[in-house]
Amino acid sequence: MGIHYLSQSLNGEERHTYPPVSIALGYFDGVHQGHRKVIQAVIDDASKRNVESAVLTFHPHPKTVLGKEPLQQYDEITPIEKKLSVLESLGVDHIFLVTFDEQLSSLSPQQFVDTYLIPIHVVHATAGFDFSYGQYGKGTMQAMPEYSRGLITTTVIEKWEQSGEKVSSTRVRRVIDEGNVAEATELLTRPYELSGTVIRGDQRGRELGFPTANVELTSNFIVPATGVYFVTVKTAQGEKRGLCNIGYLPTFFEDRQDVSVEVYVLDFDGDLYGEQMDVQFLDKVRDDEKFDRVEDLVTQMKEDEKKARAYFTSSR
């Protein structure tokens, strides 16, 4: 599989330097169920046409570029490294990553097709029902064959629903923000995952009998609601099970501003400092709580561990 970084406009003369592709178009934050319908349709179409399959997506998020006050930071379900990894796992032949900037946002629909789709040899394009392109989103999939002068045909994938509600990145963001990681797993078809580096903390967990790995996030992830979660973690030392506490440590701090992500790995007594850790959220155990006494916190942590062991035993 090839990843192609497109930071500037191409020209039509480059068309035959690329193999013909059937391509999925979209931002694809989360690569959720609905997105997978679009991408699978492309893979199937490419097979029928005997061409290669591709995805064209964008970075950074338009909200960091457009508007009177563009956001300095936009937290995502799948920051770019994670999104590329998930897309690659779906089996497409090519990923085209387009830099989203003011120049791109000012292109007309005709210019977008001429400078990004025709040059990479797109013969068929597929997108969700709400995808648009060009300045102010004026371009439609229905108009693309005309803009391409008959070189590109199109397919539109209709709205995909689960439990009577549209599956969308907005919905996935909401359930993660609410701490409903079990529903997020259903919508994403995989557990929601944060990634970061294990750093040295204040050793408080070790003093309490529950040594934790303090995870410093490496990208702008959406962080689930504060609380305790059943998780699996992946490091260079393999996959393990545990509990993750997301919160402000209210038992020890009155006005802490930065949220902490701490993982207690079951049946592990090694050194994880400096390692990359992927934390996959399976279900929520309880909300974050402030305890009047440290002894009460330790009692609750023992109860959390007991629940975790029962959970992982039953899910084998």
Query: Domains along the chain?
Result: 2-162 (3.40.50.620), 192-314 (2.40.30.30)
pLDDT at 210: 78
**What is the arithmetic mean of pLDDT over 43-57?**
98
C-beta of residue 24 within 8 angstroms of C-beta of residue 55: yes
pLDDT of 208-254, one tens digit each? Answer: 667 889 999 999 999 999 999 999 999 999 999 999 999 876 555 56
Q: Which of 56-70, 74-88, 299-313 has the lowest mean pLDDT?
A: 56-70
Alpha-helical regions (H) of the chain:
33-49, 80-89, 102-105, 109-112, 144-147, 169-178, 181-188, 204-207, 294-314
Sorting pLDDT into bands at 50, 70 and 90, what band is 18?
confident
Is pLDDT at 41 greater than 90 in this prediction? yes
In the predicted model, what is the mean pLDDT of the chain? 91
**What is the arithmetic mean of pLDDT over 165-189?**
97
pLDDT at 207: 63
pLDDT of 112-160, one tens digit each? Answer: 999 999 999 999 999 999 999 999 889 999 999 999 999 999 999 999 9
**What is the arithmetic mean of pLDDT over 192-206?**
84
Q: Is the peptide bond before 145 cis (omega within 30 degrees of 0)?
A: no
Question: Where do we find the tokens 């399959």?
Answer: 53
**What is the arithmetic mean of pLDDT over 33-60?**
97
C-beta of residue 31 within 8 angstroms of C-beta of residue 55: no
Token pair for residue 70? 């563009």
pLDDT at 6: 84
Q: Which of 11-20, 95-104, 146-155 has the lowest mean pLDDT?
A: 11-20
Burial 279-311 (b: 16+ CB within 10 A, else e): bbbbebbeebeeeeeeeebeeebeebbeebeee
**What is the arithmetic mean of pLDDT over 68-81?**
88
CB neighbour class for 144 (10 Å; exposed up to 12, middle 13-18, buried from 19): buried
Is pLDDT at 2 greater than 60 in this prediction? yes
Q: Which of 40-49, 68-77, 150-159 has the lowest mean pLDDT?
A: 68-77
Q: Which of 238, 234, 241 is CA-nearest to residue 307?
A: 241
Is pLDDT at 45 greater than 80 in this prediction? yes
Is pLDDT at 68 greater than 80 in this prediction? no
pLDDT at 120: 93
